[in-house]
Amino acid sequence: MNELIVFMCDGAPVRGEIVSISSAWQAVLERRNDPPAVRRILGDFVGAATLLSASLKFDGTLIIQAQSQGPISLLVVECKSDLTMRATVKLSVEHNAIDPDASLSDLLDAQNSGRLVITLDPADRQPGQPPYQGIVALQEHRGTVIKPVRSAAEAIALYMQNSEQLDTRIWLASSDTHVGGLLLQKLPDSGGHTQLDPQAATEGWNRIQALGETITNEELLNLPPETILRRLFLEESQENGVRSFPARSIQFACRCSRTKVADVLRMLGEQEVESILAEQGAVDSTCDFCGKAYHFDAVDCRQVFKTESLADATRPPSKGH
């Protein structure tokens, strides 16, 4: 089961999503060797990335990056509009130094340095045009009191509130085999619900949220999205109607390639590559996302500097602004 469904409520200005990921999540984990507490947080962000990607009207790649001076120095989850995704984590401490019960707040130093950067990189972005970035601090300062963000769900809800101005609730759960998530979003009052007066709209949003709050981690991890939808909103669908759209599938896919590694070598420059060759006899690079190894011996490296990058050759010349 690697599925995401979108649903709309007729009796409330609410759009929702339910996601369930199993083999695509296992494909991420089998390439990695992260401590249990880190796996849980990575799983939550994988769920969050698919939910966010499906909720933004946007064609391109959504990148969630968490950075901190805590045990997790960097966490990256990428999800494209077609719901292919990949994920990686970098730790600043030894694996066995991480408490199995460590929280997001502990691992991403939410008391001090932790922050989340969410990047939307459009598929048709022109050279030189920067992608859109939103930053969420993982701590809220209220006077002298610092309130750390406790979960991935809370961090993403903060982002949606700040950048999209949309009331959003998210529930996430992850295990070593499954990731599950539920997203509820209050649509702007004019969003196709002109038949609802403001009071009915507010009541509808509160009613759907209250139903959402009854979701359990077990349900999110074990039930297919359609079953969760029917169970959670049974009464709502009998009285008002809840419509779901065809399920979309989620897949693990890495975008690394030998051509991209060759591009990196060109960026390093011939001199730098020659010095690596002199020291190590070859240039070896391993993809952080999928673990694939790329080996360039002296002959390969010489070839790299003899040929133009395929990507460069097909890209229109940069206008320099």
Site residues for Zn ion per CB under 5 A: 254, 256, 287, 289-290, 292
Q: Which is nearer to Zn ion, 33 or 275 (CB)?
A: 33
Largest Cα–Cα separation, the chain: 74
Q: Which is nearer to Zn ion, 184 or 287 (CB)?
A: 287
Distance separating alpha carbons of residues 152 and 161, to the nearest angstrom: 14
In contact, 64 and 115? CB cutoff 8 Å = no
Q: Which is nearer to Zn ion, 256 or 298 (CB)?
A: 256
Residue with tokens 């089961």: 1
Give the residue from 212, 78, 66 showing the smallest Cα distance to 139: 66
Q: Which is nearer to Zn ion, 85 or 187 (CB)?
A: 85
Measured N-to-C along each axis, helices 258-268 and 270-280 cross at an angle, to the nearest 10 degrees, of: 110
Q: Which is nearer to Zn ion, 46 or 156 (CB)?
A: 46
24: Cα separation from own chain's centroid: 13
Distance separating alpha carbons of residues 191 and 295, to the nearest angstrom: 53
In contact, 77 and 32? CB cutoff 8 Å = no
In contact, 139 and 160? CB cutoff 8 Å = no
